[in-house]
Structure 1
């Protein structure tokens, strides 16, 4: 047999994504190039690894066994690289982070200087909704998660990073008249744009409405904060959004904040991890960095939110 590490990497990506197209995007390769490498790997075996039916990838039983071995092999290869860097006095390894979708406005600022100081660290970051973030935490697939709403059923440790404020937003072109803070009953009439089920922002909104005894008028449900913002800008409805996600829109005056009783809703952005988590050297170094640098990061990048 004469398969290569590159072929194993490509095979693992195809199995993980269950798609040659998605794997090619992740690997920054063309789809034909991925298909050729998979074909070259398959030629080493007389038992099928995968089956493609109606453009969907199905992994055979033998393919799953090879996948497990390939993952282990690639981890050992990476360990060789990390050990080499370690003997040179360089911090290296993988840092795995899962971030709720709104957290994409936050996490890069809490990563960039650490990664700049430690260029041999490989970052694996997944930006998704809260449900999937918590799932990856429960499975111990990540070192840290960034959330604004804590799960109650997991034994956790946390590090609070910065405040989270949610406000009612509208298109800058809306003709709603605001002379003073509106009564919360206004939500009974406003067409609202919600995030999808599993979103932390949606969960916070729902708790507010339940406590206020309000049945909101939901006009749209969208799957990302960016989609919600664009719908608000277009005048399709109103939504409660985190202030820190609105920096550019407020600067460009494409969105305006409407003051309402009980708003802004306040919580905190937290870095969380399993209480029994055994940190790698990289993960512990990152946590030490965060604890030391978070006041400066907040001051440099997020103190503007205090105006709202």
Structure 2
């Protein structure tokens, strides 16, 4: 009896209740789309596991014994619990099927909400959720299952993803409009080595562009102060504190207002790409997959509308 729970199955409980209610193995078999021998065999196995007789034949019917009658409420509880569990899963699955959890790097906040709003217009039934973090935060959200889809630049290397490029991502070098270099027609990389810079945290896409720009030319990295957001970097540059590499997609309003200048530097702008991606091992739900397909097909046109034909289109 020690391993009784391992031998008794939920299916046996379902068959048992049908037999008790119908008082016939044949009618129980019809209700459950089984054969009468299959019902009889399962009831024999259940009786053997319990070490007790459950049914007694009485003409063409079977009558539950005292043990069987005592077992009925427990069997009913087990079957009802299963039904409740199935209902919960079905309800949850319906929510998951309509759920789209998008994690985006902070730079993508300049166009990500527009993409999501256009998607919502076409799929009003979708449950859209958005989170914004730095590169490591977005990767962590994917790894821990807190995000279904990500919008980011360079895809992560430590996890396998399915990625789709949908737009160009230009990086430029910015200064205050009164900075001496703002009037220069051509700036060499070597001219920037002694200039103070503002940079994002290590590992961010913007920081990688900064370091690659100098190391590609075998130049030392210039003195730099780290800041935790593009917004803070823009404010500092507008205060004429230093120069900074930044995504061209983040400075449209500031350039239009004449508060920032884009420097004419050899090797700039540096063009990267925007991707929509998800973990390879975790297939997106129906709505999340619809979002991926939407960004792939409609993202290029939306980006062109936001940033123009040069920097908004697919590569």
Calculate the TM-score normalised by the size of structure 2.
0.66
- Partner Cα distance (1:187, 1:78) in 2: 59
Distance 1:305 1:172 in 2: 23
- Tell me the equivalent position of 1:294: 299
> Secondary structure, in 3 states, of the residue corresponding to 1:157?
strand
Aligned to 2:282: 277
Q: C-alpha separation between the residues in 2 aligned to 1:82 and 1:157?
A: 23
Q: Is residue 267 from structure 1 mapped to residue 272 from structure 2 by the alignment?
A: yes
Structure 1, 296-305 or 281-290: larger mean CA deviation: 296-305
Judging changes above 3 Å, is the alpha-carbon distance between structure 1 residues 306 and 130 closer, same or farther for their aligned structure 2 residues? closer
Alpha carbons of structure 1 residues 216 and 178: separation in structure 2 relative to 1, 3 Å: farther
CA distance in 2, matches of 1:298, 1:185: 33
1:154 maps onto 2:142 in alignment: no
1:111 is paired with a residue whose SS is helix
For the residue of structure 2 that corresponds to 1:206, the secondary structure is helix
Query: Hey, what does 2:116 align to over in structure 1?
Result: 111
1:78–1:166 distance in 2 versus 1, CA, 3 Å:
farther
Aligned counterpart for 1:168 among listed residues 173, 192, 198: 173
Give me the whole-angstrom Cα distance separating, in 2, the residues matched to 1:179 and 1:245.
23
Separation in structure 1 between the aligned mates of residue 171 and residue 116 of structure 2, nearest angstrom: 24
Do the aligned partners of residues 117 and 81 (structure 1) sit closer, same or farther apart at CA in structure 2, a change above 3 Å counting? farther
Gaps of 5+ in 2: 1-86
Q: CA deviation at 1:233?
A: 0.5
Matching residue of 1:141 = 146
Equivalent in 81, 91, 105 of residue 80 of structure 1: 91
Separation in 2, partners of 1:79, 1:100 = 33
| SS in structure 1 at match of 2:283 | coil
Corresponding residue pairs, total: 227
Q: CA deviation at 1:304?
A: 5.9
Q: Rate the CA distance shift 1:277–1:196 in 2: closer, same or farther, 3 A.
A: same
- Using the alignment, how far apart are the partners of 2:98 and 2:305 within structure 1? 28
The CA deviation at 1:124 is 2.1
Contact (CA 8 Å) 2:168, 2:271: kept in 1 or not?
A: yes
Q: For the structure 1 residues 296 and 155, does the alpha-carbon distance in structure 2 shift closer, same or farther, using more than 3 Å as the test?
A: same
Q: Are 2:100 and 1:100 aligned?
A: no
Compared CA separation, residues 260 and 79, structure 1 to 2 (3 A): farther
Aligned-partner Cα distance in 1 for 2:107–2:210: 14
Matched, 1:186 2:191: yes
Contact 2:169 2:311 in 1 (8 A): no
Q: TM-score, normalised by structure 1?
A: 0.67
- Could you say if the C-alpha distance between residues 124 and 184 of structure 1 is closer, same or farther in structure 2, counting changes exceeding 3 Å? same
Give the Cα–Cα distance (whole angstroms) in 2 for the partners of residues 106 and 304 of structure 1.
15
Provide the aligned C-alpha RMSD in A. Answer: 2.5
CA gap of 1:175–1:157, structure 2 versus 1, over 3 A, is same
Structure 2 SS opposite 1:176 = helix
The residue number in structure 1 matching 2:131 is 126
After superposition, the Cα gap between the structure-2 partners of 1:304 and 1:293, relative to the gap in structure 1 and judged at 3 Å, is: closer
Task: Give the aligned partner of residue 250 of structure 1.
Answer: 255
Summarize deviations over 1:249-295 as a string: whole Å, max 9, x none. Answer: 11001000111111111110111111222221111211222232123
> 2:160 and 2:119 mapped to 1: Cα distance?
27
